[in-house]
């Protein structure tokens, strides 16, 4: 059995919290680095059957980024900061799961399937288009027309590569970071930027009734 990362001590958390209140430049990144992985692991242990592995990561990143922007909202008399954050991410995760269930009822599922071209490359784009917009296909529009429509909607070549990674089932932050050219950033900032980009692109894809299942 994999052992959880040790929970940061109360003294460690409180020390960086005081640095946040003092507006030290490095405090937000240090605070997130200290708490990110332990909170993710604690959340995954509490919810072991999440539909997507990165759901806990996304929730914790959002919560920590939100906290470091307004650390003064925390009231120490309400309890330990770790417990406060843990309860916060649990509530956010439950909301995310409920939202996910509502989306699944409305959106067309997409399961990544790899098809090899004669030259050995993966024919991801055609598979994406085959699944994208059944109503348009019924109106006589072919897959290439839908491909062109989506490419117009997502003209940025880096965004398009992110979309293809999402549809191919890629889960590793480093793969998306390489496409976005942010590999030089600290991992916590890479995760935040990758999540922001993926969320923005999911909103565009939603216009086509598409749900990306990233296994």
Share of the chain above pLDDT 70, in %: 70
User: Do residues 133 and 209 lie in contact, with contact meaning Cβ atoms separated by under 8 Å?
Assistant: yes
129 and 176 assigned to the same domain: yes
Shared-domain flag, residues 88 and 166: no
pLDDT at 211: 56
Residues 204 and 140 in one domain: yes
With a cut of 80, say whether residue 173 has pLDDT above it.
yes
Spatial separation of the C-alpha atoms in residues 98 and 92, rounded to whole Å = 10
Last residue of a domain, one of 51, 73, 104: 104
Tokens coding 204: 């565009």
Identify the pLDDT of residue 1.
42
For 197, the domain range is 108-212
Question: Would you say residue 135 has pLDDT above 70?
Answer: no
Same domain, 68 and 100: yes
What's the N-to-C CA distance of the chain in angstroms? 22
pLDDT at 112: 42
Domain end (from 104, 132, 165):
104
Give one DSSP letter per residue of 153-176, joined into a string.
Answer: HS--HHHHHHHHHHHHT---HHHH
Number of domains making up the chain: 2
Contact by Cβ (8 Å): 146, 156? no
Q: What angle do CA 110, 113, 117 make, to 5 degrees?
A: 135
Do 67 and 83 lie in one domain? The reply is yes
What's the pLDDT score for residue 169? 75
Residue 3 lies inside a defined structural domain of this protein: no
Query: Does residue 2 belong to any structural domain of this protein?
Result: no
66, 118: one domain: no
- Residue 192 lies inside a defined structural domain of this protein: yes
48-62, 97-111, 122-136: segment of lowest average pLDDT: 122-136
Q: What is the pTM of this model?
A: 0.55
Confidence of residue 16 (pLDDT cuts 50, 70, 90): very high
Q: What is the mean pLDDT of residues 162-189?
A: 85
């Amino acid at each position: 059995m994999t052992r959880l990362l040790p929970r940061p001590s109360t003294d460690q958390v409180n020390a960086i919290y005081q640095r946040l209140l003092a507006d030290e430049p490095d405090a937000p990144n240090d605070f997130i680095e200290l708490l990110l992985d332990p909170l993710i692991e604690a959340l995954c242990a509490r919810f072991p059957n999440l539909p997507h592995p990165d759901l806990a990561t996304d929730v914790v990143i959002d919560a920590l980024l939100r906290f470091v922007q307004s650390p003064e909202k925390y009231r120490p008399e309400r309890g330990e900061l770790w417990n406060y954050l843990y309860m916060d991410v649990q509530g956010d995760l439950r909301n995310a799961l409920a939202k996910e269930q509502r989306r699944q009822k409305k959106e067309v599922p997409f399961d990544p399937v790899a098809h090899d071209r004669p030259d050995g490359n993966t024919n991801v784009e055609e598979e994406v288009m085959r699944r994208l917009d059944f109503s348009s296909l019924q109106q006589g529009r072919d897959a290439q027309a839908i491909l062109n429509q989506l490419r117009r909607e997502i003209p940025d070549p880096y965004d398009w590569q992110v979309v293809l990674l999402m549809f191919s089932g890629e889960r590793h932050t480093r793969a998306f970071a390489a496409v976005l050219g942010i590999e030089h950033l600290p991992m916590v900032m890479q995760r935040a930027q990758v999540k922001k980009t993926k969320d923005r692109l999911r909103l565009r894809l939603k216009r086509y009734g598409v749900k990306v299942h990233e296994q």
